[in-house]
Amino acid sequence: MASIWNISVLLLLVFGAANAESNVNQEAKKPIQTFRPYNVAHRGACGEIPEETAAAYHRAIEIGADFIETDILASKDGQLVCFHDVTLDDTTDVKNRTEFSDRKRTYEVQGVNVTGYFVVDFTLEELKSLKVKQRFSFRDQQYNGKYSIITFEEYITIALYADRTVGIYPEIKNPVHINEHVKWTNGKKFEDIFVETLQKYGYKGTYLSESWLKQPVFIQSFAPTSLIYISNKTDSPKVFLIDDVSIPTQDTNQSYAEITSDGYFSYISQYVVGIGPWKDTIVRPQDNYLTTPTDLVARAHAHKLQVHPYTFRNENSYLHFNFHQDPYQEYDYWINQIGVDGLFTDFTGSLHLYQEHTSPYPKDIKTSDDLLRKIEYIISKYERA
């Protein structure tokens, strides 16, 4: 039987390596894949490790994420941090920290009065002193209390120092709330500091440009005015997040029907490359069975918008009956029948395994990187045979 080395040499000859880019940099990182839907690690590998921690992001990279996703908020002293909720109550030990017992507040957030310990009322040093815990009781609890909140810059560094090209997918989170409670000098806003941080670390370039491929990024937000505002500050691709049908936008108070109309898609496509809807708005469930899919994906694609739905979770309580308690069936449905362009998942390893075993490799070989990826793919098939 021919050796893998001989197969590699043969493939190089067959595919015309001599005509590919002549000086292949063997030290260069493996590029991000762009031929199949993106595997977006929702808050890192949060199905295994507490969300938005350094450990969760490292784990997500280890098990195959194309992008690591995060939510960005700001501390009292104006430092950007990775954290999902505007309050610290559900995923940190703040309630057990007696020195912070006087920090509980009630603020209006998206038209609702919320009571708790707010991120914006703590300095970065204080936030760093808190310990993070798993959000869901039915997930692994062994890592509770082991990790701390990280900064936006620390998160970026994790992606940049990965041993392959890993994209980042940060969210401008609750910008109305942040701009109301946190003030920066020179009249700057949350969105300004967010973009400046990305630019500080070299993130720039339109989707699939040379700069983007070196450091891939999608900027996301539920607030359309934030995405429009930053369009004058960065050409990095942006994704408009869309909530449940009953929830209006947090900054413009527009309804779901308004923001998913063809007229609005035509408008927002001037500023964003895609939408990120909650998946149950694309295919609505009834009695935990999926009904007939809406035309949301088709209409978005007609406006040249990508569709990256959220959130895919392996647990039975999140799987509709159609999928018979099998997350791989769910991935297959959304990728091959609905035709999405990326998926936010709490279990990035599962999505990666599914795609590695089912995704066809692209036919076009245009560069040496394409060629090497083709060789790796064929070798992996050979090894599994």
Tens digit of each residue's pLDDT, the chain (385 residues): 344 334 433 343 344 333 333 233 334 899 999 999 999 999 999 999 999 999 999 999 999 999 999 999 999 999 999 999 999 999 999 999 999 999 999 999 999 999 999 999 999 999 999 999 999 999 999 999 999 999 999 999 999 999 999 999 999 999 999 999 999 999 999 999 999 999 999 999 999 999 999 999 999 999 999 999 999 999 999 999 999 999 999 999 999 999 999 999 999 999 999 999 999 999 999 999 999 999 999 999 999 999 999 999 999 999 999 999 999 999 999 999 999 999 999 999 999 999 999 987 665 555 555 556 555 555 544 444 4
Burial label for 344, CB within 10 Å (0-12, 13-18, 19+), is: buried
Give the contacts of 300 (CB within 8 A, at least 6 positions apart): 265, 274, 275, 306, 307
CA distance 94 to 61: 29
CA distance 255 to 253: 7
CA distance 108 to 87: 12
CA distance 250 to 271: 18
CA distance 93 to 132: 7
Q: What is the pLDDT of residue 1?
A: 39
Q: How many separate helices (H) and strands (E) can be counted in the chain?
A: 15, 13
Core vs surface per residue 324-340: b (16+ CB within 10 A) or e:
eeebeebbebbbeebeb
Main-chain phi, psi angles of 339, to 5 degrees: 80, 40
Measured over the CA atoms of residue 380, residue 216, residue 331 and residue 60, the dihedral's sign is positive
